[in-house]
Homo-oligomer: A and B are copies of this chain.
């Protein structure tokens, strides 16, 4: 950030009075510009003992696999964002989804909120951001071709819970040393 988005004057990074973290502050209008973590809403769609994964058509990690996930938008709930991403990336409908994992990635300022739940039908297809979309049995997940560590973390917990036959809500933090 170099300029104030309100008045167009240069900004300086400094700790505002009463704050304890550096922020971009406008030299002219004194507006404080906060940058906060973004929410990534995701969903593991389920059908007949399988889960639906997408092979990414866009960077980063084009060609690798993920469950449908993307940035939550203003004006929607987290659950609506997860349903929308599933529709956009996998052309699939899910209903009655449950929160499954809350995974913070502090060093990149993201928090993944991952749901799981049944597809309404076996229909699916590759959305614009996907090369292909495919149902996998938990034993056939392509672990060496997963796009991001956070996706792998969620899927491993999913597979474990699924094997035990008992799903819980996982809250965890991804360590900094993992590449995302």
Partner-B contacts on A (CB < 8 A):
1-8, 10-11, 18, 21, 24, 33-39, 71-80, 98-99, 102, 104, 106-107, 109, 111, 113, 128, 169, 171, 173
A165 to nearest B CB, angstroms?
19
9 additional contacts (CB under 8 A) given A74-B106, A80-B104, A99-B171: A3-B3, A3-B4, A5-B24, A34-B71, A37-B72, A37-B74, A39-B39, A76-B104, A111-B113
Q: How far is the CB of A166 from chain B (nearest CB, A)?
A: 14
Give the number of copies in the complex.
Answer: 2
Residues from chain B with Cβ under 8 Å of A24 in the complex? 5
Least distance between A138 CB and chain B CB atoms (Å): 23
A177 CB to nearest B CB, Å: 15
Considering the complex, give the chain B residue whose CB is closest to the CB of A170: B99
Interface centre among A37, A71, A111, by most chain B C-beta atoms within 10 angstroms, is A37
Pick the 8 closest A-B CB pairs, nearest first.
Answer: A77-B104, A74-B109, A3-B8, A77-B173, A169-B169, A1-B5, A5-B5, A36-B38
